[in-house]
Amino acid sequence: MSAMNLKYAVLALLVGGTAHAVEPMVPYDNFNPSESNPPRATKVRGIDPARWTSQESGSRQQALRELAFTRLRLLSRSNTGTGRYGLRFTQPSLVTAIEAKVRVNNARSTGCEPPGTGVSQAAAELSGHFFNAATPSRASAKDDITASIRIVSRSTDPLGSQDLRVEANIERCRDASCTGRSSLFTSDLGLIHQGEQARLRVQWDAANDRFVFQRDSQPEVYGAYTVTDTGAPGIANKELVVTHALPSCGSGSPTPLGYVNAYFHDVLVNQSAAPAP
């Protein structure tokens, strides 16, 4: 445990809470350049390059990443492989907690035929590589521990259902690109309707060797881990993304589909990651 984290752990004990003992959340970007929260010294046109950089992996047939009036809009439509598309925080190592309002307007996942031979998945996520559980090597995600809170569509969802699922995940990267992952923790935070907005939070509570997840005002969910958490992640990355993970279907099967059209706004982070004015 780092000295800083130890300090916060002590603070947590003093205030008598658990997750509340971690850093308070502060505004990072509301995606409203006209009335920015937090305020900016100079107004920006479009997505603020001082706060965000591009995140893009995999391939897709259609993609949109744009400021849509007072929200960030991310759209991805893909029929192959895995991919992540969206925005990364420019100072990821400072970010230990992410909160945002997320609305998935539409999501659809189509798997392989016959059913069960391959499951497709598409999601809108707040996620990050928070630490490395082994000896990190530069530019390799192997053994990075990722945590995410996401709204997911799967091809196994009931036909025609308008319901998606909110999930919390802790995973360990099995390779340098983190394409392969091992699940350390997963929690179902319930159904969410397409078009329903949710306030999502993922927060690393290093003092207690766990991640804290929360959907709206529901009780916090804790994902504990037992791996060592003192190593910096090989890929320091915190992000707002839409993702897809699609199977390779056999001949005769329709092409799989992973489609997400999501909006993000009112992004908060832990206080020490607050952006410069």
The binder of another protein chosen from 39, 217, 219, 252 (CB under 8 A): 39
Q: How far apart are CA 111 and CA 36, in angstroms?
A: 41
Q: Which stretch binds another protein (CB under 8 A): 6-14, 27-35, 125-133, 211-219?
A: 27-35
3-state secondary structure (DSSP) of residue 11: helix
Q: What are phi and psi of 200, to 5 degrees?
A: -115, 145
Query: CB–CB of 122/76 below 8 Å?
Result: yes
Cis peptide before 256 (omega within 30 of 0): no
The binder of another protein chosen from 117, 175, 193, 218 (CB under 8 A): 193
Q: How far apart are CA 80 and CA 57, in angstroms?
A: 12
CB of 46 or CB of 219, closer to another protein: 46
The binder of another protein chosen from 69, 114, 156, 250 (CB under 8 A): 69
The closest of 26, 62, 58, 32 to 46, measured between CA atoms, is 32
CB of 67 or CB of 134, closer to another protein: 67
Q: How is 143-178 classified by DSSP, letter by letter?
A: TEEEEEEEEEEETTSPTT--EEEEEEEEEEE-STT-
Site membership for another protein, residue 197 (CB under 8 A)? yes
Q: How is 188-206 classified by DSSP, letter by letter?
A: EEEEEETT-EEEEEEEEEG
The binder of another protein chosen from 70, 90, 140, 272 (CB under 8 A): 70
Q: What are phi and psi of 71, to 5 degrees?
A: -145, 160
- What residues between 206 and 225 interact with another protein by CB under 8 A? none
Residue window 121-160: x/- pattern of binding to another protein, with contact defined by CB under 8 A: -------------------------------------xxx
Q: Which stretch binds another protein (CB under 8 A): 89-97, 104-112, 181-189, 206-214?
A: 104-112
Using CB under 8 A as the binding criterion, the count of chain residues that bind another protein stands at: 36
CB of 18 or CB of 162, closer to another protein: 162
Site membership for another protein, residue 26 (CB under 8 A)? no
Q: Which helix (H) or strand (E) holds 12?
A: helix 3-15
Q: How far apart are CA 180 and CA 178, in angstroms?
A: 5
The binder of another protein chosen from 15, 16, 46, 135 (CB under 8 A): 46
Binding site for another protein (CB under 8 A): 31-36, 39, 42-46, 64, 67-71, 73, 103, 105-106, 108, 158-160, 162, 193-197, 261, 263, 265-266
